[in-house]
Each structure stands twice: as structure tokens, then as C-alpha cells.
Amino acid sequence: MESLLQSLLGDNLLTVVLYCALPLVFLLLYALLAILGEVKISAWMQDRLGPMRTGPWGIIQPIADVFKLLQKEDITPAKADKFLFNLAPFLSFMSAYAAFAVIPFSSQYVGADLNLGLFYLLAISSLNVAAIIMAGWASNNKYSLYGSMRAVAQIVSYEVPAAMVLVIIVMFVGSLNLQDITTAQSGPFWNWMVFGGPKQDVVLASGEVLSASWVNLIFLPFFLASFLMYYIAGLAETNRTPFDIPEAESELVSGYHTEYSGMKFAMFFMSEYANMFLVSAVVAVLFFGGWNSPFGVYLGDAFDAPWLVAVEQFGWLAFKGLFFVFVMIWVRWTLPRLRVDQLMYMSWKVLIPFSFGIALVVGFLVVIL
Amino acid sequence: MPKSMNEIFDYLNSLFPEAALQFDEAVPCVIVPAALIKEVALQARDDQELLFDTLMCLSGVDNADETLGAVYHLDSMTHRHKLTLKVIVPATAPHIPSVDRVWRIAEWHEREAFDLIGVIFDGNSDLRRILLPEDWEGHPLRKDYEVPEFYNGMKVPY
Amino acid sequence: MTESMEVLKAGIASGRLKTDELVLNMGPQHPSTHGVLRLELVLDGEIVVKVIPQMGYLHRCFEKHAENMTYPQVVPYTDRMDYLAGMNNNHGYVLAVERLMGIELPERVEYIRIIMAELQRIASHLVAIGTFGMDIGAFTPFLYCFRDREYILDIFERTCGARLLYNYMWVGGLSHDIYDGFLRDVADFIKKFRPTVVEVNNLLNYNKIFIERTANVGVLPADVAVSYGCSGPMLRGSGVDWDLRRDDPYSIYDRFDWKVITGDGSAGTLGDCWDRHMVRVWEMEESCKIIEQALESFPAEGDIASAIPKRIRPAKGEIYTRVENPRGELGYYLIADGSANPFRLKVRGPSFVNLSVIDEISRGHLIADLVAILGSIDIVLGEVDR
């Protein structure tokens, strides 16, 4: 992909910027789709129609929403800490977007093919915490402060089980590179991690050979549990129901973004949606084969068109990611919200011990097999 | 055993012989001197014959004859009988002992009567205005109440 | 540095680090105060130390208005108190005037009133259940409840032209007779409505998270409930078997066979938020039973206006009448002085009385629990402030 751009535009700054901006284009389109999905899916679940006035079946509602947000007055409370108040939404979105650098969208495109991809992912997505506490503190509003304190406690708590699950996968694959993890799962869907990992030998991009066999089926229950734990932790990290305690509408009005309006609110909104896709994409990459086709074959191979393969791979990742975003929306409109102490209980007394236990067992199995 | 209001009056009269309780046949209700209302209320709640465990309603009333009153509607869930107590005090010194320790709900009812009628319940732990703003002047449900023209510089529209 | 270390050591020695208390104003504009209630919360971290309710933002001088209106003119004002249960409010008021005047009502009027009052009770409970779910964070059951409430409001609209503020029950009668097909519509509604209870039970009431959030929260012991004068689902949730429809019968409730629902503490402690909530859920079923029986023995003939007096001017006297509103005991203390206007009309609103207990039962809980407690009390600010 990079070489394609270089051949088209030459080796200059524009190429690099374009290369970096590609996920942003995707993200903006995805955000529109997700907003529409949220309103429409919730409407169908709740036995109503949802927006119907803007375009056929209201499909241009998200664009109208964006215009509404653009037109809104940008209010900074008089007693807010202006610098931090203005910085927080951008930092929040930045941390969400920067994490997309290591997501392999296809075998041809990954923003930064880092060897420490998962480390980078953990580190950069934690920046969101700083943005949230900045927003809560700078707003000079008690609800915001409560919301941000809850958010920080929650995100920091759930980072631990999430990181532990990542360790499990890393132990199995032997690489922190997300592209490698995806390659390890190539072939038909039973090679996906959630089904116990690859059943045949795989050559990684780095030249290593990952030997595997049907014995790997023994990993299935552990990886299935890890997948569920990671998804739950991911729900908590993105502050989605049933873990939407930091912005619990009925308690804290709107949590840390109570005082935000207009585009700054939209930035927080965008970062929430970006984080939703990020978590979904990581779930897809770690457990559901990333950009791998579930059938192990691509239409592009039949026509001998590598560009079609890349597009298909991107399509599969987007499909898997969007499916998990859909599940998040589904969960949101079904379940009530937990309480602060129950949330902490869930993380420290359930998820963390279980994830450590699974890590131990998987570690043993990897060594033995 | 449920008792009629008459029987309850006779019983209360025997407990408080010097209190000069009166019985108003027309309503019917027992008229209690202001100073004794708390004792009568306690007796009515705790006496095994009466057991008035619920204060259904406490209303302040302006009787339009220079007197204010408080009306206590009592109910016994155990014996299933009811009692109405009335206290009448002069409008110039409308002091009634509070019964908010007898029935906890009395606190808010008394605040409301204080707010709207102006009866002062001595001993109420939190006698503030409850429905009207704290700096409102006068007690609107008095018969001689006149709507002020201005409140905090704002015209009071009516 | 050393000083703060001293404080830290002292805090650890006392077993508890003392922090400053924070005063948080919840409301009057807040999503879960169910209107314009303001709660002054004194908080220690997330823990509620004290709750001071501040009411009056919706005070519309109902009692003052009533003194300046004729008796029939007061009826529309009663609708506006508990605007979710207009029929029940009408019922209580007209009952007070009728008792004062000694009016005997035609059978048909009584039956229509009972059906209307019970439909209204279902509608009101549906709102209570839905909004309680929303307070806990579940949005979807709210809309299922409102969907079914619409059917009831449609029936009301076809009967009296209004969906919320009916002015339907008049002293001695009703404003309109029922329309053709009313009985069929009501029977249809009950058939459609029963599955909703199952649906909401599955989606919300027996959801593990919901039970975790509401069981053992805001426990109201029976003696405290009685002392605070709590009534309705609030009192029954604490296990007190008390319903004015049965224990102080009015209208024709004594003719029907139904049972009073009380909380049993099956999810946690007796008298917790879940009990109060479930009392409402099962009470809707009992209301359905009453309506079904009323439909069976509904008098085919009758004049709804025959008992409406030409001149409503009760003789000197006073009366305290109470009816079972969806929220509890709605009392009207009416003093008549022989003129065309009430001399004094005091309303004992169940929301007002039930709300007074909030400080007692929410101390030591978390903010999230306070929201649950407030939702389970089910207040309507129109009635608290009158």
C-alpha cells in the first residue's frame, strides 16, 4: 500500500500524510454508520421506527446530526480551566485514533508494522484516561469530576484483565505484532484463535514457522473464555452499557462530558465510537482471524487480482469489527447498568483471577505441546 | 376492637380528666387544648386500646374567626378505627407543640401548615417553608392574605 | 510533608481516612429526579451522608385556587396534581363532595369509575416501572411500557376527549358516557396487555443485574414505613398488608375478588427497592382481574347524569376522604361552609408523604442507589408540590 502510494505520488510528505489519514477516512464513515446503527437498532429493539424524516428511512440522520453539532455554540464554562478543557477532547480522540496505527486492515495495509504492536496498543489507549480526567477536572463541575473519577478507576481496573488476555495470545503465537497474530490464523475459520488456534503449520511474516496441529483443540475452552473476558473488559474500557457508569445518565447527567457542547462534544463522541471499533477490531484480530476470510480462499485469487484480495481482506475485518460493534449496541439496549462497587468486583474479583489462571494454564500447555 | 369516635372520646376523657377535651358532634372530632396535643397524641399512638399508628393527614386551617387550627386525622391499622383531633389557637399567637416525634410524617405536614397557614409548631426539628420560596412573605392560605404586588422586584402576576 | 504524613497516620490509626464532605445539588434539572425536585446531597466520596429534599418548584397553589372556585370547577385542577393518575384524583375529590352531600350514584357510574380508575392505575404503574428501569439504566423496557400505556390513553381519549387531564368524573356522575365498543376495547386491551408483563419480567425484573442493583437497597422496615405514613406500593413493599380498596372500601370495590399484593423480600430484604417495584408489577395483574369482573357484571342500562345535582352547594360540614391512588393514600380534607366554594381543601398527596422517607432510607448508600431509591418511591412532582 505504501509502495503504491509512493509510486503514484512520489516519496514526499503528502504520501505519508495520506497513508496516515486512510484509517481516519474509514473511521469517519464508520462513525456515521455507527450513529445510524445505534439509533436504528435501538429503535427496532424498542418497537419503534427511529428517525424517519431525514432521507428514506432516515438514513441521512447522522449527517444531519453532524451538521447540528457543527452549528452548535461552543461553550466554555466561565470557571473552567480553559487550556485543559479545550485540550481534553482532542487528546481523547487522538489516543483512540493513534491506536489504529497498529491495526492490520489487510495483509497489505497496516499503519505501522510494529514488533511491539500490542504494547503500543495498551500504552496508547491508556492515554484516554488522561483525557478523561482532564475533562472532568477542567470542567469545574461536580458531576464531571465524579464521572471522570469513576471512568479512571474503571478503565485502569479493566486494563489489567485486558492486558492479561493479550499476554495469553502472545504466549501462544510468540509475537507482539498484530500482523503476525493475524497471519498465524490464516486458512479456514477453524484456524481462528477462538476455535483453538491454527491446525496446520504457518509461516509468519518474520520467517518463523509456527508448527501446530489438531492437538491445539485443547486450547479452545481457554481461548473462548479469554475472548469473552476481553470483550467484557473492552466494553468497560469504552464505557458502554452495562459499564457506562462514568456517564450514567440517570446519576451523573452525562459524566465527564457534561459541560461540553458542539464540536468538542463531538470529539468525545467520535472517540467513544472509535474506541468501540478499536476494541471490536482487536477482538477480531486476536480471536477471529483479523482480515482472514473464514473460508480460507479469496475471490481475488481466482481472478489473480491482488488488489481485490486486499479489498476483500479489509472487508472481512470491517465486517467482523462491525459485527462486534453491533453486539455492543445490542447489549446497550438490553441490559441495565451496574453499580460502581459491582463493577470493581467484576474486574478485581472475577476477571483478573480468571485471566491469571487461564494465562498459567495456557503457558503450561504451550510449553508442553 | 374498633371503637366509635364517641367511645374514643370517652376513653380519652377518662385518661385526661383535667384537660377539658371537647367533643364536636357535627364533624365529629375531639377538640384538644394546644398545650396537651403532644401528650394526647402519644397516648393515642401507644395506648393498647387506641393504637393510632398512622397520621393520615395534618391540616392547618384558618377558621376565619381570628383563630387558626390544626386538624389531625388519625387511623389505626390494627383496630381499624379513626379519630380526628382538632387544636384551635388564636391567630395572634399560633403556637402548637409539634408531634413530629410521635409520627415522623408530621414533620413535613407541619412544615406545610406553617408555610401556608402560619401555624408555628414548637419543637419541630426543621420548621422551614416547604412549598414556597424561603423568602416569601405571608401565609397564602390565611383568609386575610393579600397577594403581594412584588416578589424580589418581580411583579407577581395574577 | 510531615504534616500530611501525620494526618495520614492518624487516619490509618483511626481505621478510616477522613475526607471532606461534598454538597451536590441534584436537580431541579436532572434526568432522574422525575420532574423538578431538588435533592441536596451531602456526600462522602460516592456515599450519601444526608439527603435534603427541596420542593416547591412546581407549586401551583392548588389549595388556594380551590378556595376561589366552585365545587365542580375544582375537578380539572385535581387532574393536574398527579398528572399520571388523573382519573384516581378525580375519583377521590368527587367522592369527598358526594359523601358530604349524601349523593347516591347509579350503578353504571360506579362501574365506569372503577374501570377507569383501574385502567389509570395500570397506566400509572407502567410509567413507574418503565422509568424505574430507566433509572437503573435499562432503556428498552421503558418503551415497552409506554407502548401499552398508549392503548389505555387511546381508550380514555375516545371516552372523554383527553389523554392526560380528563376532568371525567363529575360530582354525581361523569362527563361523558362510554362510547360504543368501549367494553370490547377494554377487554382487548387486557388480552394484549398480559404478555407485556411477562416480557418486562423477562427483560428487566428478573435480570441478574437489575436484581443486584435493587435488592437490599433502600430497605424500608414496616414500622418506619407506618410512622412516615407511607402508603400504596411503598407500604405494601415493606410487607404491610394494607390497601384502602379493601380496608376502607369506597365505591364498589368490595364486590370484586382480588388480592392485595405485598412484598416478600424474595430477592433480598423485605422492603427493598425490588419489592416495591414488584408490588407494582403484580398489582397491574390484580387491576386486570378487577376490570374483567367489572366487565362481566357491567350494567347494560343506566343514566350517567341522573345523579348530577343541579346546584352543588354542600351544607356546612367537613370530611376527610381517602382513596387508593396508584402511589398510595390520596386524601382530601374538605371543609364546606355552605357557600358554593370549598372553605378549605387540603390534599394529602401520597407522593409528598412517601418522599419524606427518602433521607431515612438512603443514608449510607451510593449515589447510584439513591437514584434507585428515588425511582422506587415513584413520586410525581405535580402532587408533591401541588
- Do C63 and B27 count as a contact with CB atoms less than 8 A apart? no
Mutate one of A38, A148, A252, A339 to test the C interface: name it (highest C CB count within 10 A).
A339
Which is nearest to A272 in space by CA: A151, A140, A101, A163? Answer: A151
Kindly state whether residues A53 and A119 are assigned to the same domain: no
Cα B109 from Cα B98, distance rounded (Å) = 10
How far off is chain C from B151, nearest CA to CA, in Å? Answer: 15
Cα A155 from Cα A96, distance rounded (Å) = 14
Mutate one of C226, C344, C347, C385 to test the B interface: name it (highest B CB count within 10 A).
C344
Kindly state whether residues A118 and A157 are assigned to the same domain: yes
Identify the pLDDT of residue A208. 66
Query: Which residue positions in chain A have pLDDT lower than 50?
Result: none
Contacts of B4 (CB under 8 A, 6+ apart): B81
Identify the pLDDT of residue A323. 92
Which is nearest to A286 in space by CA: A216, A187, A182, A163? Answer: A182
Cα C170 from Cα C176, distance rounded (Å) = 10
Relative orientation angle of helices A13-45 and A82-98, to the nearest 10 degrees: 90
C-alpha cell at A114: 510494529
How far off is chain B from C240, nearest CA to CA, in Å? Answer: 10
Q: Apex CA C238: angle with CA C234 and CA C239, to 5°?
A: 120
Q: Is residue A4 part of a domain?
A: no
The alpha carbon of residue A153 and the mean position of all alpha carbons in its chain are separated, in whole angstroms, by 20
* Residue C322: closest C-alpha in chain B: B56
Q: Tell me if A263 sits within 8 A of A271, measured CB to CB.
A: no
Cα A277 from Cα A283, distance rounded (Å) = 10
What DSSP string describes A55-114?
Answer: SGGGTTHHHHHHHHHHHS-----TTS-HHHHHHHHHHHHHHHHHGGGG-BSSSS-BS---
Cα B144 from Cα C138, distance rounded (Å) = 51
- Do C147 and A47 count as a contact with CB atoms less than 8 A apart? yes
Q: Tell me if C98 sits within 8 A of C132, measured CB to CB.
A: no
Q: Tell me if A102 sits within 8 A of A114, measured CB to CB.
A: yes
Judged by a CB distance cut-off of 8 A, whether residue A345 touches chain C is no
Kindly state whether residues A234 and A322 are assigned to the same domain: yes
pLDDT surpasses 70 at C271: yes
The alpha carbon of residue C23 and the mean position of all alpha carbons in its chain are separated, in whole angstroms, by 29
Q: Is residue A359 part of a domain?
A: yes
Residues of A in contact with C19 (CB under 8 A): none
| Burial class of residue C17 (count of CB atoms within 10 Å of its CB; 0-12, 13-18, 19+) | exposed
Q: Tell me if C386 sits within 8 A of C82, measured CB to CB.
A: no
pLDDT one-digit tens code per residue, A32-71: 888 888 889 888 888 888 888 888 888 888 888 888 888 8
Residues of C in contact with B107 (CB under 8 A): 356
- Do C335 and B61 count as a contact with CB atoms less than 8 A apart? yes
Q: Tell me if A273 sits within 8 A of A34, measured CB to CB.
A: yes
The alpha carbon of residue B155 and the mean position of all alpha carbons in its chain are separated, in whole angstroms, by 33
How long, in residues, is chain A? 369
Q: Which residues pair with C319 in a beta bridge?
A: C334
Identify the pLDDT of residue A201. 64
Dihedral Cα A72, A78, A80, A82, nearest 10 deg: 70
Identify the pLDDT of residue B158. 58
* Residue B105: closest C-alpha in chain C: C228
Kindly state whether residues A92 and A111 are assigned to the same domain: yes
Which is nearest to C218 in space by CA: C376, C44, C356, C384? Answer: C376
Task: Report which residue type is found at A302.
Answer: A
Q: Tell me if A270 sits within 8 A of A93, measured CB to CB.
A: yes
Kindly state whether residues A203 and A271 are assigned to the same domain: yes
What b-and-e string marks burial along C76-93, b requiring 16 or more CB atoms within 10 Å of the CB?
A: ebbbbbbbbbbbbbbbbb
C-alpha cell at C261: 399484593
* Residue B25: closest C-alpha in chain C: C317
Mean pLDDT (whole number) for C359-363: 87
Identify the pLDDT of residue A105. 85
Q: Tell me if A1 sits within 8 A of A244, measured CB to CB.
A: no
Nearest CB to C143 within list A46, A241, A339: A46
Instruction: Determine how many CB atoms are found less than 10 A away from the CB of residue B2.
Output: 11
Query: Which residue positions in chain B have pLDDT lower than 50?
Result: none
Identify the pLDDT of residue C122. 92
Kindly state whether residues A321 and A238 are assigned to the same domain: yes
Cα A208 from Cα A134, distance rounded (Å) = 44
Which is nearest to A269 in space by CA: A249, A261, A45? Answer: A261
Q: Is C323 left (phi over 0), alpha (psi -120 to 50) or beta?
A: beta
Which is nearest to B145 in space by CA: B112, B109, B114, B118? Answer: B118
> Poorest-confidence range of A207-221, C89-103, C202-216?
A207-221
Mean pLDDT (whole number) for C79-83: 87
Q: Is residue A315 part of a domain?
A: yes
Task: Report which residue type is found at B51.
Answer: L
Kindly state whether residues A221 and A188 are assigned to the same domain: yes
Cα→Cα distances C151→A195, A358, C198, C280, C368, Å? 49, 53, 18, 19, 33
How long, in residues, is chain C? 386
Cα→Cα distances B132→A293, B18, B119, C61, C68, Å? 69, 40, 15, 9, 19
What is the torsional sign of CA A253, A254, A256, A262? negative
pLDDT one-digit tens code per residue, C142-179: 888 888 899 999 999 999 888 888 888 888 888 888 88
- Do A340 and C143 count as a contact with CB atoms less than 8 A apart? no
Per-residue H/E/C for B7-72: HHHHHHHHHCHHHCCEEECCCCEEECCHHHHHHHHHHHHHCCCCCCCEEEEEEEEECCCCEEEEEE
Three-state secondary-structure class, residue C257: coil
Residues 19-58 in B contacting C (C-alpha not used; CB under 8 Å): 26-27, 53-57
pLDDT one-digit tens code per residue, A314-340: 888 889 999 999 998 898 888 888 888
Contacts of A167 (CB under 8 A, 6+ apart): A359
Q: Is residue A90 part of a domain?
A: yes
Mutate one of B99, B103, B104, B146 to test the C interface: name it (highest C CB count within 10 A).
B104
Dihedral Cα A297, A302, A303, A309, nearest 10 deg: 10
- The set of chains that have 3 or more CB pairs under 8 A with C is A, B
Q: Is residue A33 part of a domain?
A: yes
B to C contact (≥3 Cβ pairs closer than 8 Å): yes
Pairing outcome for strands C173-174 and C169-170: antiparallel
Cα C92 from Cα C95, distance rounded (Å) = 5
Q: Tell me if C140 sits within 8 A of A333, measured CB to CB.
A: yes
Domains in chain A, number: 2
Interface predicted TM-score (ipTM): 0.86
- Do A336 and C140 count as a contact with CB atoms less than 8 A apart? no
Return mean pLDDT, chain C: 86
Residue C138 banded pLDDT, cuts 50, 70, 90: confident
Mutate one of C58, C260, C348 to test the B interface: name it (highest B CB count within 10 A).
C348
Kindly state whether residues A198 and A56 are assigned to the same domain: no
Identify the pLDDT of residue C1. 46
Which residues constitute the domain of residue A36?
23-71
Q: Tell me if C140 sits within 8 A of A46, measured CB to CB.
A: yes
Helix (H) or strand (E) holding C372: helix C367-377
- Do C213 and A340 count as a contact with CB atoms less than 8 A apart? no
* Residue C133: closest C-alpha in chain A: A336
Kindly state whether residues A182 and A328 are assigned to the same domain: yes
pLDDT one-digit tens code per residue, C281-329: 999 888 998 999 988 888 888 788 888 888 888 888 888 888 988 988 8
* Residue A41: closest C-alpha in chain C: C140
For residue A238, how many C-alpha atoms fall within 13 Å in the half-sphere facing its CB? 25
Cα→Cα distances C312→C96, C103, C331, Å? 13, 11, 21
Identify the pLDDT of residue A214. 65
Kindly state whether residues A41 and A123 are assigned to the same domain: no
pLDDT one-digit tens code per residue, A222-245: 888 889 999 998 888 888 878 887
Kindly state whether residues A67 and A172 are assigned to the same domain: no
Q: Is residue A226 part of a domain?
A: yes
* Residue C52: closest C-alpha in chain B: B126
* Residue C320: closest C-alpha in chain B: B73
Task: Report which residue type is found at A282.
Answer: V
Q: Is residue A181 part of a domain?
A: yes
Q: Which residues pair with C329 in a beta bridge?
A: C324
Residues 102-141 in B contacting C (C-alpha not used; CB under 8 Å): 103-105, 107-109, 116, 129-133, 140-141
Cα→Cα distances A220→A129, A189, A358, Å? 33, 13, 12
Q: Is residue A335 part of a domain?
A: yes
Cα C121 from Cα C149, distance rounded (Å) = 10
Nearest CB to B104 within list C55, C227, C386: C227
Kindly state whether residues A146 and A125 are assigned to the same domain: yes
pLDDT one-digit tens code per residue, C23-62: 888 878 887 777 788 888 888 878 888 888 888 888 888 8
Q: Tell me if A91 sits within 8 A of A271, measured CB to CB.
A: no
pLDDT one-digit tens code per residue, B95-106: 888 888 888 888
